[in-house]
Chain A
Amino acid sequence: MSTTTATAPTKWWNGGRSPFNVEYGKLMMWYFLMSDAFTFGAFLIAYGTTRFAATSWPDPNKVFASYPLMPEGSHAPLVFVSIMTFILILSSVTMVLAVQAGKEMKKNTVAINLILTIIGGLAFLSCQAWEWTHLHHEGAWWGMNPFLNADGTQSTTGFTNFFFTITGFHGFHVFSGVVINCIMLIMTLTDKFEKRGHYLMIEKAGLYWHFVDLVWVFVFTCFYLI
C-alpha cells in the first residue's frame, strides 16, 4: 500500500494534507472574514436600498465638513475623512511589514511595526471619536437627524441611523483589531513566537487588520464620496 501512495500522483483532494495549502487557523480566519464581508455587505446594501427608495438624501459634503480646531465658519468637506483614510492605509502597510518580518524571524522589526500599527489604529479611533462627538453636538444621533436633504426638503432619520450603525460597527472592528494587535505585541515581546519557531499567528492578525482597512474603503466611498 505504501508504495502505491508514494508513486501515485499527489492530488490536492486526496487527503493527508490541507487542500488549500494553508494551515487550519488561517483558513478559518478566511472563512470568518468571508462571513464578516457578508455582514458588512448586508448593512451597506440595506443603506443603498433605503437611499434608492428616498426621493432626496442629505449631501455628505455639507454634513461632514469640519475638522478639529477648524476656524469658525469655514467649510472643509472631505478633508478630515481623507486623513482618516490615509491613517488606515498606512497602518495596513506597517502590518504587512510586520507579517513579512515575522516570516524572516526578525523579532525586533515585528515588534516595531506592530507598535506602529497599533498607533495607527488608535489614531483612527480617536478621529472617529472626535467626528461622532462633533456630529452629536450638531444634534445627530440614532433617531435624530438635523440635516436637510440636498434639495432642501425634510430628511428621514435613515441617514444618521445608517451612518452611526455602520461606522460604529466598523469602529468596533478597528477596536478589536487594536486589542488583537496588542496581544500579538505582548506575545512577540515575551518570545512566545520565537519558542514556537514561527510567526504564523501574526499573519492571521494581519488578515483581520487588512480586512478592517478593506471595509473602510467601502464605508468611506459609500458614505462620504457618493
Chain B
Amino acid sequence: MGICIYLFLSYLINHTLTYYTMEQAQVIHMDHPHTDVKKEIINVTIILSVLTIIELALGFTMMGIENQGTRLAIKGIIVILMLAKAFYIVGYFMHLKHEIRNLIMTIVVPLAIFIWFITAFLYEGNSYKNLKNRYDPYKVERSHTIVEKKESVKEEKKAE
C-alpha cells in the first residue's frame, strides 16, 4: 500500500510541477551573492553547534532522572532536535533548499516512506516484547534475574 501511495504522490508532483519556467529558476539561483553565502555558512555552523550542545545538555540531565515518562519526553525532544540538525545539514550544507522544487520533491518525497517504516517496525518490536513476556517463561525468568555486576566481582576478588 505504501508503494501505491508513493507512486500516486510522485505522479501528482511531477504533473503539478510541470509549469515552473526557466525564468523562475534563474531568479532562485541569482539571489545568492557570495557574501550572503559566507554569512549563511557561519549562521548554520552556529545553529548546528548550539543544537548539539542542547542535545548533550539534555543527555546529561537525563542521567539523573529515573521517571520513565520524563525520560521518554526528553528523548522525544532530542529526536526533534536531531531532525532540526538534519534539516540544516541537508538544506544549507547540501544546498538542497536552494535547488528547484523538482529536485527537492524527488529527493524528499520518497523519504516519506520512513514514516510508515519506523511506525510499523517499532510497533512490531513492541508487540513482540509483550507477547514474549506473556507466553515465554524462559524469557520472563531471564528478564527478572539480576546478574551480579562484573566490577563488583573484581572488587570482591581484590578484597579477598
Show the binding face of A for B, using Cβ within 8 Å.
9-13, 17, 19-22, 27, 30, 34, 37, 41-42, 45-46, 48-56, 61, 77-78, 82, 85-86, 89, 92-93, 95-97, 100, 103-104, 146, 148, 151-154, 206-207, 210-211, 213-214, 217-218, 221, 224-226
Which partner residue on chain B sits nearest A207 by CB separation? B94
B52 near A82 with CB under 8 A, answer yes
- Asked if B18 contacts A11 (CB within 8 A), the reply is yes
Q: Note all chain B residues with C-beta closer than 8 A to A92.
A: 89, 93
Chain B residues with CB under 8 A of A95? 93
Majority secondary structure, B binding face: helix
B126 within 8 A of A: yes
Interface majority SS (helix, strand, loop, mixed), chain A: helix
Closest 8 CB pairs of A and B: A52-B125, A49-B125, A55-B143, A53-B125, A20-B103, A152-B146, A53-B128, A221-B82
Nearest CB in chain B: distance from A213 CB, A: 6
| Most chain B C-beta atoms within 10 Å of own C-beta, residue among A12, A19, A34, A224 | A12
Residues of B within 8 A of A50 (CB): 125
- Tell me if B145 and A21 are in contact (CB < 8 A): no
Q: Which residues of B contact A19 (CB under 8 A)?
A: 102
Q: Of A37, A42, A96, which is within 8 A of B111 by CB? A: A37
The A/B interface has a contact count, at CB < 8 Å, of: 155
Chosen A-B contacts, 6 in total, with CB atoms closer than 8 Å, are A21-B29, A27-B103, A55-B143, A89-B52, A152-B149, A225-B58
Q: Which residues of chain B are near A56, meaning CB under 8 Å?
A: 143
Indicate if the CB atoms of A53 and B126 lie closer than 8 Å: yes
Contact with A along B32-58 (1 / 0, CB 8 A): 001001100100010011001001101
Total interface residues on B, using CB and 8 Å? 63
Complex partner residue of A211 from B34, B63, B94, B142, CB under 8 angstroms: B94
Known: A45-B117, A61-B63, A93-B41. A225 touches B55 (CB 8 A): yes
Q: Is B121 in the interface zone, CB < 8 Å from A?
A: yes
Contacts of A218 in B (CB 8 A): 82, 86
Q: Considering the complex, which residues of chain B in the window 79-104 have a beta carbon less than 8 Å from any beta carbon of chain A? A: 79, 82, 85-86, 89-90, 93-94, 99-100, 102-103
A51-B147 in contact given A10-B21, A92-B89 (Cβ < 8 Å): no
Cα distance, A34 to B94, chains bound together (Å):
13
- Least CB distance, A15 to chain B, in whole angstroms: 12
